[in-house]
Amino acid sequence: MIHARIKDIDLKFMTDASLFSPDFIDHGTLAMLSVIDFLPSDKVLDLGCGYGVVGILAGKLIGEEKVVMCDISQRAVEYAKRNATLNGVPHINIRLSDGYENVEENDFTLILSNPPYHADFSVPKRFIEVGFRKLAMGGKIVMVTKRLDWYKNKLISVFGGVKVQEMKGYYVFVAEKRSQMIKKKVKPVKKLSKKLQRKQKYSKADNC
């Protein structure tokens, strides 16, 4: 059993050896939480929730009905549900989901994620690109990793900008949705009028 006090909230978590960071709350997760102010108006997605630290804390602070938690691991979902009940927020919506697969909402104000460090970039790529569409305007995606360049460049390419804070070997990224994605339009080539076509034709002939 892990006991912790985060943002003046006392929490406790049952864990399992098969889950990420089973003996203590991961320092990256704590770094990410340190930069977040949960607001009563927020709607939060804990993406890759593990045994539930982030989402359960959010539920305690802003209300369990404003939080969705998901994980690809059935074991993680089971423990997150146990821990939600253990911490007095049993009605948090906790789902088994491969990324956003079972997340139909598109109005989150916060998406929080501590993606796997050793996976290839296909997982965080999907988290970021689909996450943009899952956010309400002005919403933010917050991620913590031990890698800087790829995440920084990817978030800038999708969101147009990102704030980065380094904390004890971790990087916390905060990117805000400020506009809809704009696809570059190719301008159609204007056709010359018949008069200009004739003029161009004669001009070419004179130069021969």
Residue-wise pLDDT tens digits, 5-58: 999 999 999 999 999 998 999 999 999 999 999 999 999 999 999 999 999 999
Helix residue ranges, H only, 14-137 = 27-34, 53-62, 74-86, 122-134
Query: What pLDDT is attached to residue 160?
Result: 95
Whole-prediction pTM: 0.84
3-state secondary structure of 201: helix
Length of the chain, in residues: 208
Query: What pLDDT is attached to residue 186?
Result: 40
Query: Residue 42 gets which letter from DSSP?
Result: -
**Is the confidence at residue 208, as pLDDT, over 50?**
no
Helix (H) or strand (E) holding 180, with range, is: none
Encode pLDDT of 128-163 as tens digits: 999 999 999 999 999 999 999 999 999 999 999 999
Q: Which of 190, 157, 152, 189 is nearest to 174 (CA)?
A: 152
Cα–Cα distance, 1 to 6 (Å, whole number): 16
Cα–Cα distance, 7 to 58 (Å, whole number): 10
CA distances to 23, 81, 130, 169, 172 from 104, in Å: 33, 20, 11, 34, 26
Strand partners, 45: 68, 111
Cα–Cα distance, 28 to 34 (Å, whole number): 10
CA distances to 28, 48, 49, 51, 109 from 116, in Å: 11, 9, 12, 14, 23
Query: What pLDDT is attached to residue 33?
Result: 97
Helix (H) or strand (E) holding 158, with range, is: helix 149-159
Helix residue ranges, H only, 7-73 = 27-34, 53-62
3-state secondary structure of 195: helix
3-22 CB burial, b ≥16 within 10 A, e <16: eeebeeeebebebeeebebe
φ, ψ of residue 5 to 5 degrees: the values are -125, 115
